[in-house]
Amino acid sequence: MHANWKLVFQNFSECLHCPIIHPGLAKLTPYTSGENDLFDGPYLGGYMVITAPGGSLTMSGRACGPAVGDLPAEDQNRVYFYTIFPNLLLSLHPDYVMFHTLWPQAPDQTRITCEWLFHPDAFGQPGFRPGGRCALLGRDQPAGLAHLRAEPRGDRVAGLPARGPTRRARAFQRRGTGSS
């Protein structure tokens, strides 16, 4: 991706952009529906509520497999999003776990890998197609990341005016990663 890894990391940490950049996602889990529950140390994140009971963040809005574990009732309609410093984006869904690993290549280049984890019983279910019904975030992702294309200096987002770092970005800078 043509963007600094810190922009990708910060983008994952907020969803104010979701109604415009990820309209399919915003219908399934409104960006105002949750709260952060981890914000100290190298972690940041929390949950958002899935609007449909028994739903998931998939193309159909329905779960694409069995629950990943024995979940408490409140977690059966929540998705948890966490950034784990320095380079892990973790999404805990009722029916799958997805994680992205960010690999800085240059100040304006980041390689992103994405992995999906499912309950082992999901693979034996008729019609289980992780690349089909479960593909909402994968299909929505290019649009969601396109607005992060950085200029060569890596400190501006294309199409947006330059501005100072946000409170969250300043906190990461204070931690002193030594990376661009």
| pTM attached to this predicted model | 0.74
What is the phi-psi region of residue 92: left when phi exceeds 0, alpha when psi lies from -120 to 50, beta otherwise? beta
What is the domain range of residue 18? 5-175
Per-residue pLDDT of the chain (180 residues; tens, 9 = 90+): 899 999 998 888 888 888 898 888 888 989 889 888 888 889 999 999 999 888 888 888 888 889 999 999 999 999 999 999 999 999 999 999 999 999 999 999 999 999 999 999 999 988 787 765 555 554 445 445 555 554 434 344 343 333 444 444 334 334 444 444
* Residue 128 within a domain: yes
Q: What is the CATH number of the domain that holds 81?
A: 3.90.380.10
How far apart are the C-alpha atoms of 172 and 95, rounded to whole Å? 31
In a domain, 180, yes or no: no
> Is 152 domain-assigned?
yes
Number of domains in the chain: 1
Looking at the DSSP bridge assignments, the partners of residue 36 are: 46
- Looking at the domain assignment, is residue 108 inside a domain? yes
Tell me whether residue 59 is in a domain: yes
Q: What is the residue-averaged pLDDT of the chain? A: 78
